[in-house]
Amino acid sequence: MSDRPVTTLYMLMSVDGKISTGASDDLDVDKDFPGIDGLKDGLHQYYEIEQTTDLWSFNTGRVQEKMGVNEKPLPEKTPVSFVLLDNHHLTEHGVRYFCARSKEFVLITRNKEHPAFSVKEPNLHILFQEKQDLKEALRLLKTQFGCERLTIQSGGTVNSLFLREKLFDYVDLVVAPVLIGGKDTSTLIDGRSLVSEDELSGLGVLKLEECQVLNDSYLRLRYKVVS
């Protein structure tokens, strides 16, 4: 039995693998796709599938800052427990936003002065790490908080850390019928590139488990990571 949760990378991406509409933080698929003909009509399927994912969800402060959580009104409680990796993107309001939204809220940070340390909420748990260690953080999520399954929806850079450390078990993609392009636009997996044959063990080899044709030319692809 593994000492960490079973993980699934669940993302919305373009046909060319982009998870953002551009290289600026002002551009984002969640904000932009609803206004684009040919994309907006089928977009609801991504969010409907998202509602069926795991009751533990992993994201990053940077992504959530882009989504506006530092300014949004406090939401209603959900049954989902959220895990955020963040060093400096969340404000105190952003932390309180996730405390209000989450069943349990676990913040992973290397910042000793993170605003979360000034928030006192019974469902807030802070995992402070002097050096970032995703494998250890996942182990603690399972052993301390009972997280058995975790859906990952972070950005391309953090996704690359999960990939290189062999921390993905499944990949679940909704592919939107669009090409975005741009070498600086974030993709499903960014981060450091492989530069030699000796590093090919860092690849994530996948086995297709399901290919579902959705409405309005969207696709859902579900893979098991086999190595």
What is the per-residue pLDDT across 158-193, written as a single tens digit (0 to 9) for each?
999 999 999 999 999 999 999 999 999 999 999 999
In 20-133, alpha helices (H): 29-32, 44-50, 61-66, 92-101
Can you give the pLDDT at residue 25? 86
126 and 117 Cβ atoms separated by less than 8 Å: yes
Taking only the tens place, the pLDDT of each residue in 50-87 is 999 999 999 999 999 999 999 999 999 999 999 999 99
In percent, the amount of the chain with pLDDT more than 90 equals 98
Can you give the pLDDT at residue 183? 95
In percent, the amount of the chain with pLDDT more than 70 equals 100
Mean pLDDT, rounded, of the chain? 97
Reported as half-sphere exposure (CB side, CA atoms, 13 A), residue 152 has a value of 25
How distant is the alpha carbon of residue 167 from its chain centre? Answer: 13
The dotted CATH code for 6-225 is 3.40.430.10
From CA 67, how far away is CA 81, in angstroms rounded?
18
Taking only the tens place, the pLDDT of each residue in 192-209 is 999 999 999 999 999 999
Taking only the tens place, the pLDDT of each residue in 118-141 is 999 999 999 999 999 999 999 999
Task: For residue 163, report the phi and psi dihedrals to the nearest 5 degrees.
Answer: -65, -50
What DSSP state is assigned to residue 3?
S
Planar angle of CA 184, 186, 189, nearest 5 degrees: 120
From CA 225, how far away is CA 185, in angstroms rounded?
25
Residue 1 pLDDT exceeds 90: no
CA–CA distance from 143 to each of 2, 75, 77, 148 (Å)? Answer: 11, 28, 24, 9
From CA 153, how far away is CA 156, in angstroms rounded?
9
How distant is the alpha carbon of residue 116 from its chain centre? Answer: 20
Residue 195, exposed/middle/buried by CB under 10 A (0-12, 13-18, 19+)?
exposed
Closest of 187, 180, 178, 140 to residue 9, by C-alpha: 187
184 and 226 Cβ atoms separated by less than 8 Å: no
Average pLDDT over residues 25-38: 95
3-state secondary structure of 121: coil
Can you give the pLDDT at residue 132? 96
38 and 179 Cβ atoms separated by less than 8 Å: no
This prediction has a pTM of 0.96
Can you give the pLDDT at residue 122? 98
